[in-house]
Amino acid sequence: MFAYIVRRLLYAIPILIGVNLLTFYLFFVVNSPDDMARMHLGMKRVTPEAIEKWKASHGYDKPLLLNSEADALDKVTDTIFFEKSLKLFVFDFGYSDDGRDISFDIGQRMMPSLAIAIPSLIIGLMVNITFALLMAFFRGTYIDVSGVILCVVLMSISAMFYIIGGQFLLAKSFRLMPISGFDSGLDALKFIVLPVVIGVVSGIGSGARWYRTFFLEEAGKDYVRTARAKGLSESLVLFRHILRNALIPIVTGVVVLLPLLFMGSLLLESFFAIPGLGSYTIDAINNQDFAIVRVMVFLGSVLYIIGLILVDITYTIVDPRVRLT
Amino acid sequence: MSILHARLIAASLISPAGKAALLIALASVWLLACDGQPWNRPYPDASAHENVFYSLFQERPKHLDPAQSYSSNEATFTGQIYEPPLQYHYLKRPYELMPLTATEVPVASYLDADGKVLPDDASAGDIVWSIYDIHIKPGIMYQPHPAFARDKLGALRYHHLGDDALSAVHVLGDFKHTGTRELTADDYVYQIKRLAHPQLHSPIFGLMSEYIVGLEAYADTLKGAWGKAADGKEQGVYLDLAKFPLEGAEVTDRYAYRIKVRGKYPQLLYWLAMPFFAPVPQEADQFYSQPGMKQRNITLDWYPVGTGPYMLTINNPNRQMVMERNPGFHGDSYPAEGAAGDREAGLLDDAGKPLPFIDKVIFSLEKETIPYWNKFLQGYYDISGISSDSFDQAINIGSGGEVTLTEGMLEQGIELNTAVSTSIFYTGFNMQDPVVGGDSGAARKLRQAISIAIDFEEYISIFLNGRGIPAQGVIPPGIFGYEAGEDGINDYVYKASPRGPVRRPIEEARKLLAEAGYPEGRDINTGKPLVLHFDTAQTGPDAKAQLDWLMKQFDKLNIQLVIRGTDYNRFQEKMLKGTAQIFQWGWNADYPDPENFLFLLYGPNSKLGHNGENAANYQNSEFDRLFEQMKSMENSPLRQSIINEMMEIARHDAPWVFGFFPTQFSLHHSWVKNSKPNLMANNTLKYQRLEPALRAQLQNEWNRPVRWPLYTMAIIVIVIVLPAFVGFRRQQRLSAYQDKR
Amino acid sequence: MMPVLLWTDALIFMLTAVVIIFVIYARSKPHLRTPWYRVFRGRIAAASVVVLLAFIVVGLLDSLHFRLQLEDNGNSDATHYSVAVLSVLDVMLGPVRTQVEKTYSAPFATHLFARETIEREDGTKLRAYPRLQYGGRHLPASGEGKGRDILQRSLLALVEALLAGTIILYATAALLGRRSGRSSRRMRQLIIARQTMLPWRTIIVTGTFILLLVFLAVNLASAFHVLGTDKVGQDVFYQTLKSIRTGLLIGTLTTLIMLPFAIFMGIVAGYARGWTDDVVQYIYTTLNSIPGVLLIAASILMLQVYIANHPEYFETTVERADIRLLFLCIILGITSWTGLCRLLRGEALKLREAEYIQAATSFGVAHGKIITRHILPNVMHVVLITVVLDFSGLVLAEAVLSYVGVGVDPTMNSWGNMINSARLEMAREPVVWWSLFSAFLFMFVLVLAANLFSDAVRDAFDPRTRER
C-alpha cells in the first residue's frame, strides 16, 4: 500500500509538469508582461519607463524559457519559466502581481472557503441520502415518480437562479440574514446560513437522483434478492444491505471532492462576498493577476491528484475486495 | 426481532434528518439568542452603539504610498492619513486653497535667468524660475508607529531587525512598541525626492521633472546610487535620500522648505494639496526597507504613516480596512464660514468644534452593487452613491428638473447631495485615422455629423437616469473657463433656444454627411457603405445595452458601426499605437484649473508618440499656441477670452463628441451630519459627525425579520415528510406481519 | 441578399444532416430501431422530444444568416450589402425586432415602466409614465380596453391552435392508417384511446400546445411586448428567442467537437494498451486536473488577443461573436472530453477481452477493422448517453461562464448575458423581473426537456438499466 502511494505520487510529477507547461504557455504567450504591467500600474500617466521598472521589479524582464546571455546553469534558471513556474513545485508561491504574499493570502482565505464548503457538503450529503433512500424505499410508487420528477425540475434550474432568488427572498424581502459579508469566529454563523442553504438546495436534484440510482442498482443485485427471499423485511434489506453497499460509490464520490473543497465555490463566494479562495480566483481572473491564477491552477491540480489517490485508498478500506498492487 | 430492528433502523433513517433538524434547532437558538438585534446585521452585535462610521471598498487600494497613490479609491484613505501642506476649504465654492500644515498659502516669487527677483506681474516669458517658500506649523506629531519606537538608550528599536525578530511578525500590529516624532520640513523634502526614486515609479514623476529644478537628473543620480547600494539584491536595500541634495527642493530651516520651479507654474499650489507632497519620515522609509518586511507585506503601501486625523490600523484586503482616530493628532477645528446657504443647511452648526468627530471608520469589502445598495437601505452603510439601477427607487425629478428624493427615501430620513463632478466623458475620434481623422473638410464634416447624431441627452436619460449634463465643451461647470448660457453653446451641434441649448436636428447631420462625401451613408464615388469601428474594453452586463444604443445612434445616419470589443490591456495598447478609430474615454480632474482639461487636446500631449493624455491625438498649431499662452496665466478676463478662442477651434474641428459631465448623487442617512460634496478635497472625513443612538434605533426599526416564511417552510417539510413516514410505518407493519406469517 | 455562412451555422447544419442521415439509415436496421422505439414509447420522453424539436426549429431558423442588399443609389455598378447580418428568424419576427421602445416596459404594458418628465403642449411639465411608441399602439392613448383586446387575441389563438391540432390529428391518423392498413377513423380512435405503439396522443397534444404558444405569440407579440422590454427598449421576447440558438449551439457543438477526440483516444488507449494507453491517460489526467474555469478564462483571453490582432478577418460583429462562441465550444469540449474518453477506454479494455474479438484477432483481422467493425458499434450507447446527458449541463454552464466574464460575446444574445444584466435589475424598486423570468422560463423548459429526454435515452440504451 505504501509503495503504491509512493508510486502514485511519483506519477503525479509529470502531470504537474504538464499542467505547468500548459498554464505557462497560456499565460505568458497570451498576455505579455507589458500588458500585466500596464494593468497594474493603473490608469493615469503610465510611461514606458514605468512599465520597464515594473517588469524588472516583478521579475518579468527575463527571457521566457532560455537565457542565452547567462552562463552555464543560469541559462535555464535565470528565466521566467524557472522563476515563476518551477518554483511552485516546492510550494514557493511567491508574490501576486500587486505584491502580496500569495501563501499568506491562501492561508487566510482557506478558512472562509471551508466554512461554506464543509457544512454544504455534510448537510447536502445527509439530505440527499435521506431523499434518495425515501425514493428507493418507495420505488415504483407515486412518491418515487414525483420525487424523480422533482429532482429533474430542481436540476433544470441554473445555480444563478438559486442564488439570485435566495438572496432576494430570504435576505432582502424577509430580512432573515445579512445579504452578504463575512466575519471571523462564531459571528460568521449568520453569514454562512444562506450560502449553505442555497448550496444544499441547488445540489439536491442531481445528488438525490444520482444516489437513488446507486440504491436501485444495489437493490437489483442477486444478494439482495437472496436476502429478500430469506424473508428479511424490506426496510431491513434496504438499510442493512443496500445502504451499506451503495455507500461505497457515494463515499468515493465524496472523497474525490474533499481536497477540492479548499478551492471554494466561485459563484457562492463572489455573490456573498465571502473572502475565500473561490472569490480569490475570480478576482484574479478579473484583475488578470496571473501570478495568482498560476498558483490556483497548480493548487487545483495538486488537490485533484490527491483526491484521486484518496479515492484509491478509500476503496481498499471500504471494499476489502479491492487490493492495490 | 424484525420489529425491534426496524425501529432501530427507523431511528437511523431519521438520524441524518435528525442531525439536520438539530442543526436547524441550534441555528434557531442562535437566532433567538440575539433577539432585540436585527438578524441581518452584517457586523458584530456589540458594535451597534459605537461612534463608528461604516463604509466600504470595492477593490483593494493598490497604493497607499503617497509617491504612488493616484486613484480616487486610494485617496479615501490617503486623504485622511497624510497631510500635505495645503488643503481645499471644505465648504467654500469655488474651491479655495487654505493651509493645512503650512502656516499660510505660499506666494511664488519669480526670478529671471540671472536670479534677480521680478515683480509679481512679470510676463510669463520673462520668468525663468519660480520660488515657493513653505513654512509649516511647529509641534505637529506623527501617529504612533513602530518606526519611531526607541529603546531606553534612545536608539531606534526596530531598525536592525534580523530574521529571528521578524519571525513572529505578520502584521504591523505585531510590533509591541511605538513612538512618535515631531513633523519637520525635512520630511516634506524627503517625499519630493522620493518622487524620483527608481523603485517607486511615481506617476507624476514625468510631469514634475518638467518643472521641479533638477528632478530629472536627480532620478539618474538615484538610479546609479541604487545600483551600487543594491548590488544585485532586490529587497532590503535602503537608499538614504538625505545624502543626495536636490536643487529644486531644499530645507531652509527646521520648519521651512523651498521648492524651485522652472518658469511660471501656478498649478503647483494645487499639487501641494495632494498626497504626493505629503511628508514621509525617513525613519519609516528605512524601517520598511529592512529585509523581510516586504515578504510580510509590511510596506508603506500597506501601512501608511502620517500626521492626519486618522491612522490605518487594520488593512486586510480580503475583508475589511479600519481607520482609527490618531491619538496624537495636532487638532483642527470645524470651519466657521462657508458658502452661501451653508448656514441654513446646518453645515455651520459645528463651527469651531474640534475635529475629528468620528472615532473609527470600518470599510468592508463589497464588490457587488446590489448588496451595497440594499445594505445602505437597511441602514448598515452610512453613505451611498446611487447606481443607475436603483435610481427610480431613490429619486424623483420634479417638473422643473429639480431633484428630490422619493417618499420612501424621505420617510427613512435619507438626505441627498448632488454636484456636477469635475470629470468629462467623451467619445473621441482618432485624428490619425484615415477616415474619421485628419484636417480635411470632409473628415471634419463627418465628425460634426456624428456629433449631432449621438444623442447624449438620451444617453444620460437612459443610462444615467439624468445624472449628468451634456457637455458643450471640454470644461465642466465649476471650473474657471466654463461659460454658461448662450455664449457657451457648441454651435456646431446645438442651437440656442429660450429653454437652453437644443440639439440640431438629424437632417442637418445627414446634410453634413452628404457634404462629407457619404450621402445616405454610402461613399459617393464607390457606393460602398460607410463602416466605422468603435473600440471598447467594456464588458459586463451593461455593456451590451450601451453598445446597442450606440449602434442605434450611427444607424440614424445609415452609418454601420462595428464594435471591436477587447480587453482592457489590448484597448490601452491600441490607444497607444493609435490604431483605434472611435472610442470612449473619460478624464477626472486633478485640480480645479482649466489647464487640467484643455491639455487633453494639446498636441505635444498626444497619446501616439508622446504617451500623453491627448487620446484623440488631436493636433492644431493655433490651439497649441493658445494653450501655451493660457496655461501659466492667472484667472482673468483675458484668460477667459483665450479659452473661448480655444473652445471655438475644438468645437469646429470636433476631435471629440463632447459627451457629458456626470453629476454625482450621493445619499446619506439622517444620522450623518455635516455632509457636503467636495470634489477636490480628499480629507473630508474629519468633518463628518454621526449620531449612533439614532442609527441603532432606526436600524432596529427597519430590520425586523419576517418570520412567517420560516414557519411555512417548517410546515411544508412536515407535509412532505409525514406521508412518507406514515407510508414507511405501514410498510414496516405489513412486512412484520408477513414475517410473522 | 447575400447568404452568410458562419462557422457555427456550417457545423450545426452538418450536425443536422448527420442526424437526418442516421435516422433514415436506422429505420431500416432493426437493431438500431428498437432502442429508439423504446425511447419514444414513454409519454414523457415523447413530449419532451416535441418540445426539443420546437427549440431546434427556432435555432435552425436563426442559423440561416444573410446580409441584405443595400438599395442602389445609382452611384456605382457594384452591389453592396449591409454589414448587419440577419437570420430568417429575424425576418419572421420583423416588427418584434425593430419596434424598440425607449427603455424598460413591463410585459403587455402600454406605458413605460419609469416616470419621465413630459412636456405638454402648453409648455407645462408633467411627471408621468410616457406612452409606449409601439406597445399596444392600436389601443387608445389611455391604454383602455387592453384586457379585452388581449383576451380576444388569445381566444383567436386558441381557436387557431385547436384547428391546427385537429388537422394534425387527422393527418397523422391518415398516414398511420395507410401504413398499417387500417381506416383512418379507426386509427383516430386508437390514437385517442392511447392504443398506438408510440404515444401519438401525447405527441399531438404537446404539438398542439406548442402551436397554441406560437399562435399566441403571433397574435400578441405583433401588438404588445409580451415579455416586456429591456433597458434600451428592446423586446425581451425577441432576445429570449435569439438566445435559443446560443444555448443549443453550446449544448450540441461542444460535444460534436469533442467526440472525435474522445472516441479515437479512448478506444485506441483501451484497445492498444501499453504506452499508447499511458500517453492518453497522461493527457486526460493533466487536462482534467486543471480547474475548468481557469482553463476557459485563459483560452478566452487568448482568443481576444487573436481577434484584436486580426480585425480584418472579422468584418461584422456577428462574425466575431460567432468565432468566440465556436471557440468557447472548443474549449468546453477540451475540458469535457476527458470523462467520455475515460469511459470509452474502460469499455474498450473490457471488449478487447471478449471472445469474438479475440477470435477476430487470431484470424488476423486488421486492428483498424476490429475497431471500426466490432468495438465502435458496441460503445456507441456510451457515447450517445454521454452526449445527451452533457447537453443540459452545458446549457447551464453558459450562464455561469457569462457571469465570470468568460462566456459568449457580450453583444450576443444568450440566457447567460440576460441573467447577468437582470441581476442588476433585481435591485430596482419596483423590481424589473421580466428579463430574469424570461431567461429562466426558456432555459428551464429547454433543460427540463433535455433532462427528461436523456433519462429516457439512458433507460433505453444502457444495458444495465435495461435489464430491470
Q: Please name every residue paired with B250 in a beta bridge, in sequence order, or none if there are none.
A: B258
pLDDT digits (tens, 9 = 90+) for B641-664: 999 999 999 999 999 999 999 888
Show residues of chain B in contact with C83, CB under 8 Å. 529, 531, 560, 562
Distance from CA of B69 to the nearest CA of C (A): 28
Show residues of chain B in contact with A97, CB under 8 Å. none
Residue C210 lies inside a defined structural domain of this protein: yes
Which amino acid is located at B582 in the chain? I
Sheet holding B320-325, edge to edge: B52-57, B360-365, B320-325, B310-316
> Which chains reach chain A with 3 or more Cβ–Cβ distances below 8 angstroms?
B, C
What's the average model confidence in pLDDT over C81-87? 80
User: Beta strand pairing status for B531-536 and B582-588?
Assistant: parallel
pLDDT band at residue A243, thresholds of 50, 70 and 90?
A: confident
Question: What is the percentage of chain C residues whose pLDDT exceeds 70?
Answer: 93
Nearest CB to A282: which of C288, C404, C452?
C404
The answer on C349 and C239 residing in a single domain is yes
Nearest CB to A300: which of C285, C290, C443?
C290
Q: How far apart are CA C441 and CA C444, in angstroms?
A: 5
Residue B17's pLDDT is what? 44
pLDDT band at residue B393, thresholds of 50, 70 and 90?
A: low
Residue C88 lies inside a defined structural domain of this protein: no
Residue C400 to residue A217, Cβ atoms within 8 A: no
pLDDT digits (tens, 9 = 90+) for A86-121: 677 777 777 777 677 888 888 888 889 999 999 999
Residue A99 to residue B301, Cβ atoms within 8 A: yes
Show residues of chain B in contact with A98, CB under 8 Å. 60, 62
The answer on C247 and C178 residing in a single domain is no
Among A270, A261, A271, CA closest to A166:
A271
C128 versus B689: which is more confidently predicted? B689
Residue C101 lies inside a defined structural domain of this protein: no
State whether ipTM is beyond 0.95.
no
Does the CB of A161 have a partner CB in chain C at under 8 Å?
yes
Instruction: State yes or no: pLDDT of B2 exceeds 50.
Output: no
Show residues of chain C in contact with A26, CB under 8 Å. 295, 298-299, 302
Q: Helix (H, G, I), strand (E, B), or coil: what is residue C181? A: coil
Residue B616's pLDDT is what? 92
Question: What is the percentage of chain C residues whose pLDDT exceeds 90?
Answer: 26
User: Which of C75, C302, C319, C401 is the mutation pick for testing B, counting most B CBs within 10 A?
Assistant: C75
pLDDT band at residue B402, thresholds of 50, 70 and 90?
A: low
Residue C83 lies inside a defined structural domain of this protein: no
pLDDT digits (tens, 9 = 90+) for A276-289: 898 888 888 777 77
Q: Which residue of C has its CA nearest to B545?
A: C232
Residue C73 to residue B400, Cβ atoms within 8 A: no
Q: How far apart are CA B741 and CA B733, in angstroms?
A: 12
Show residues of chain C in contact with B575, CB under 8 Å. none
What are the residues whose beta carbons fall under 8 Å from the beta carbon of C215, sequence distance 6 or more?
C156, C157, C158, C160, C161, C164
What's the average model confidence in pLDDT over C433-457? 91
Residue C3's pLDDT is what? 87
Give the residue from C178, C197, C221 where a domain finishes. Answer: C221
Instruction: State yes or no: pLDDT of B553 exceeds 50.
Output: yes
What's the average model confidence in pLDDT over B226-247? 82
Number of domains chain C is built from: 2
Residue A29's pLDDT is what? 67
Nearest CB to B297: which of A101, A174, A193?
A101
Minimum mean pLDDT among A154-158, A304-308, C187-191, C409-413: which range? C409-413
* Residue bearing cell 436501485: A216
Q: Please name every residue paired with B563 in a beta bridge, in sequence order, or none if there are none.
A: B534
Question: What is the percentage of chain B residues whose pLDDT exceeds 90?
Answer: 42
B217: enclosing H helix or E strand: helix B215-230
Residue C392 to residue A156, Cβ atoms within 8 A: yes
pLDDT band at residue B278, thresholds of 50, 70 and 90?
A: very high
Distance from CA of A274 to the nearest CA of C (A): 16
Per the prediction, chain A carries an average pLDDT of 80
Residue A78's pLDDT is what? 64
Among B510, B515, B523, B517, CA closest to B449:
B510
The answer on C351 and C434 residing in a single domain is yes
The answer on C194 and C319 residing in a single domain is no
Residue C424 to residue B461, Cβ atoms within 8 A: no
Residue A18 to residue C282, Cβ atoms within 8 A: yes
pLDDT digits (tens, 9 = 90+) for B569-622: 678 778 888 888 999 988 888 888 999 999 999 988 888 877 788 989 999 999
pLDDT digits (tens, 9 = 90+) for A35-73: 666 666 654 455 666 677 677 766 666 666 666 666 666
Does the CB of C94 have a partner CB in chain A at under 8 Å?
no
Q: How far apart are CA C338 and CA C355, in angstroms?
A: 28
The answer on C356 and C239 residing in a single domain is yes
The answer on C274 and C337 residing in a single domain is yes
Residue A30 to residue C305, Cβ atoms within 8 A: yes
Q: Please name every residue paired with B586 in a beta bridge, in sequence order, or none if there are none.
A: B425
Residue C52 lies inside a defined structural domain of this protein: no
C286: enclosing H helix or E strand: helix C274-289
Residue B563 to residue C411, Cβ atoms within 8 A: yes
The answer on C261 and C147 residing in a single domain is no
Residue B370 to residue C103, Cβ atoms within 8 A: no
Distance from CA of C322 to the nearest CA of A (A): 21
Residue A42 to residue B371, Cβ atoms within 8 A: no
Residue C207's pLDDT is what? 94
Per the prediction, chain B carries an average pLDDT of 85
Give the residue from C168, C195, C221 where a domain finishes. Answer: C221
Q: What is the CATH number of the domain that holds C316?
A: 1.10.3720.10
Instruction: State yes or no: pLDDT of B6 exceeds 50.
Output: no
What's the average model confidence in pLDDT over A22-46? 65
Show residues of chain B in contact with A53, CB under 8 Å. 198-199, 201
Q: How far apart are CA B391 and CA C425, in angstroms?
A: 11
Q: How far apart are CA C11 and CA C254, in angstroms?
A: 11
The answer on C200 and C257 residing in a single domain is no
Residue C247 burial (10 A CB sphere; 0-12, 13-18, 19+): buried
Show residues of chain A in contact with B13, CB under 8 Å. 130, 133, 239
* Domain with C361 in it: 235-467
What's the average model confidence in pLDDT over B156-166? 83
The answer on C335 and C286 residing in a single domain is yes
B322: enclosing H helix or E strand: strand B320-325
Instruction: State yes or no: pLDDT of B46 exceeds 80.
Output: no
pLDDT digits (tens, 9 = 90+) for C141-180: 877 888 899 999 999 999 999 999 999 999 999 998 888 8
What's the average model confidence in pLDDT over B331-348? 90
Does the CB of C406 have a partner CB in chain A at under 8 Å?
yes
Range among B374-388, B540-554, B689-703, C22-36 rated most confident: B689-703
Residue A43's pLDDT is what? 47
Does the CB of B398 have a partner CB in chain C at under 8 Å?
yes
Residue C380's pLDDT is what? 84
What's the average model confidence in pLDDT over B1-20? 38
Residue B394's pLDDT is what? 66
Nearest CB to A233: which of B709, B723, B732?
B732
Show residues of chain A in contact with B223, CB under 8 Å. none
Nearest CB to C231: which of B462, B533, B563?
B462
Nearest CB to C424: which of B370, B374, B399?
B370
Residue C115's pLDDT is what? 73
What are the residues whose beta carbons fall under 8 Å from the beta carbon of B639, sequence distance 6 or more?
B480, B481, B594, B630, B633
Nearest CB to B390: which of C80, C315, C428?
C428
What DSSP assignment string belongs to B664-689? Answer: EEEEE-TTEES----SS-S--GGG-E
Give the residue from C194, C221, C248 where a domain finishes. Answer: C221
Which A residues in the span 57-116 are in contact with B, Cβ-Cβ below 8 Å?
57, 98-101, 104-105, 108-109
Residue B691's pLDDT is what? 92
pLDDT digits (tens, 9 = 90+) for B207-230: 899 899 999 999 999 988 988 887
Residue C272's pLDDT is what? 85
pLDDT digits (tens, 9 = 90+) for B412-452: 888 888 888 888 999 999 999 999 988 888 999 999 999 99
pLDDT digits (tens, 9 = 90+) for C184-216: 888 888 888 888 888 899 999 999 999 999 999
Q: Helix (H, G, I), strand (E, B), or coil: what is residue A165? A: helix
What's the average model confidence in pLDDT over C413-421? 88
The answer on C314 and C211 residing in a single domain is no
Are A297 and C291 in contact, with CB atoms under 8 Å apart? yes
pLDDT digits (tens, 9 = 90+) for C257-308: 888 888 999 998 888 888 888 899 888 888 888 888 888 887 887 777 677 6
The answer on C196 and C241 residing in a single domain is no
Residue B542 to residue C230, Cβ atoms within 8 A: no
Residue C59 lies inside a defined structural domain of this protein: no
Residue B28's pLDDT is what? 53
Does the CB of C399 have a partner CB in chain A at under 8 Å?
yes
Are C405 and B539 in contact, with CB atoms under 8 Å apart? yes
pLDDT digits (tens, 9 = 90+) for B50-107: 899 999 988 888 889 999 888 888 888 999 999 999 999 999 888 889 999 999 999 9
The answer on C349 and C436 residing in a single domain is yes
Q: Which residue of C has its CA nearest to B389?
A: C428
Residue B690's pLDDT is what? 93
Residue B8's pLDDT is what? 34
Distance from CA of B201 to the nearest CA of A (A): 6
Q: Which residue of A has its CA nearest to C301?
A: A30
Residue B472's pLDDT is what? 92
Show residues of chain A in contact with B570, CB under 8 Å. 35
What's the average model confidence in pLDDT over A205-225? 86
Instruction: State yes or no: pLDDT of B353 exceeds 90.
Output: yes
* Residue bearing cell 424539436: C53
Torsion on CA atoms C394, C400, C404, C410, rounded to nearest 10: 80
Does the CB of A242 have a partner CB in chain C at under 8 Å?
no
Which A residues in the span 264-303 are in contact with B, Cβ-Cβ below 8 Å?
270-271, 273, 275, 279-280, 288
Instruction: State yes or no: pLDDT of C183 exceeds 70.
Output: yes
Q: What angle do CA A70, A71, A74 make, to 5 degrees?
A: 70
Instruction: State yes or no: pLDDT of B233 exceeds 80.
Output: no
Instruction: State yes or no: pLDDT of C374 exceeds 80.
Output: yes
